[in-house]
Structure 1
Amino acid sequence: MRLLSILIPASLLALTAGAGAQDLPYPRTGTEAMSTVQVTAPAKPVLIQDDEAEVVTGAYAMSNGWRLKVDTGSRHINATIDKQKPMRLLAVAPYKFASSDGNVTMEFNRGPWGDDMVMSYVPDPRLAQVIVISSKMAQR
C-alpha cells in the first residue's frame, strides 16, 4: 500500500511536466531565414549661435593634406574638401555636426586654443571602417 501511495503522485508529476514542455517553442536551428532591421533616428538639428559660427567658419589644413572650407548657416554648415562638392552637415550639439546619414561627423573648437577640429567618416558603408582626420585652423 505504501508503494502505491508513492507511485500515484510521482506518475502525476511526470505527466504534468511532459505537458508543459510541449508548449515551449523549439530553439532556432540556424538554417532558418532570419532578417534584421537597424533603425537610426535622424539627428535633430540645433541652432548655431553667432559665436559658434565665428569659431567654425574658415579654412582648415587637414592632417592628410586636404584643405577644408567651412561656411555656416543657421542650422548647418557647408563643408567643402578641396574642389569636391560641398557636404551639408547638421548641427547636433555645440561645435558638433553630422551628415543626415551619420556617416560624416565634424567636431570643432578642440585643442588648447580651440582652433583644432576632428572629422570622422565612413568611406564605404558596406565596410566596418571609420577614418578620423584632425586639423588646425589655417586661416580666418
Structure 2
Amino acid sequence: MRPHLLLFPAALLLAADAGAQNMPYPPADSAPITSVQVTAAAKPQRIRQREAETISGAYEMSNGWYLRVLTSARYIDAIIDDQPPLRLVPVAPYRFVSGDGNVTMDFNHSRNDADLVMSYVPNRSLAQRIVISSRMAQR
C-alpha cells in the first residue's frame, strides 16, 4: 500500500478534533438598526431595568468564546472575544436581534437550562445557522 494513502485518514481525524475552536465568528452587522422589520408593537421596545440587570455580564459560550453583554435603554452591545461589538435591539422580552436579522440572542432560555442561546448566520452565501448556548460566567 502506498504511504500517502494512509495520511488521508489521519488528516480527517485531525480536522475533526479542531471542532468548535475554528468556528467562524458572526459577521459584523452592516445594516442600519432601522432596517429591522418586526410585526410586534409599532413603537420601539425599551429594555426594562430588571431585564438589563439580568442579562448584563459575561458569558462563557459552549464553543469556548467569551461574550460580554453591555446594556442601554434601547439596545445591547454583545462583544465576543476581541471582535467588534454586535448591536442588537429588543423584539420581545429577553429576545434581541441584529439590524440585519442574522444574529439573535435569547436570554433566560429555560427550555434547555441555558442563560443564553445565540444563533447566527456565519456566511450569508450559505443556508446555515449556528446555535450556541451559554451559562452566565460572572456579573
| 2:88 corresponds to | 89
Provide the C-alpha distance between the structure 2 equivalents of 1:76 and 1:41, rounded to a whole number of angstroms. Answer: 13
| 1:130 corresponds to | 129
Alignment partner of 1:68 is 2:67 = yes
| 2:97 corresponds to | 98
Q: Give the greater-gyration-radius structure (CA).
A: 1
Residues 58 and 41 (structure 1 numbering): CA distance in 2 closer, same or farther, change over 3 Å? closer
Partner of 2:54: helix, strand, or coil? helix
Partner of 2:51: helix, strand, or coil? helix
Alignment partner of 1:56 is 2:40 = no
Could you list the runs of 5+ residues in structure 2 that have no partner in the other structure? 1-34
Alignment check: 8 A CA contact 2:114 2:135 kept:
yes
Shift of 1:41: 5.7
Alignment check: 8 A CA contact 2:77 2:88 kept:
yes
- TM-score computed with the length of structure 2 as normaliser: 0.67
Shift of 1:67: 0.3
| 2:30 corresponds to | none
Provide the C-alpha distance between the structure 2 equivalents of 1:127 and 1:83, rounded to a whole number of angstroms. Answer: 25
Provide the C-alpha distance between the structure 2 equivalents of 1:116 and 1:78, rounded to a whole number of angstroms. Answer: 17
Report runs of 4+ in structure 1 exceeding 4 Å deviation: none
- TM-score computed with the length of structure 1 as normaliser: 0.67
Give the length in aligned residue pairs.
100
Shift of 1:100: 0.5
Structure with more of its chain in helix, by fraction: 2
**Which structure ranks higher in relative contact order (CA pairs < 8 Å, sequence separation ≥ 6)?**
2
What percent of counterpart residues are identical? 58
Shift of 1:88: 0.3
Provide the C-alpha distance between the structure 1 equivalents of 2:106 and 2:72, rounded to a whole number of angstroms. Answer: 16
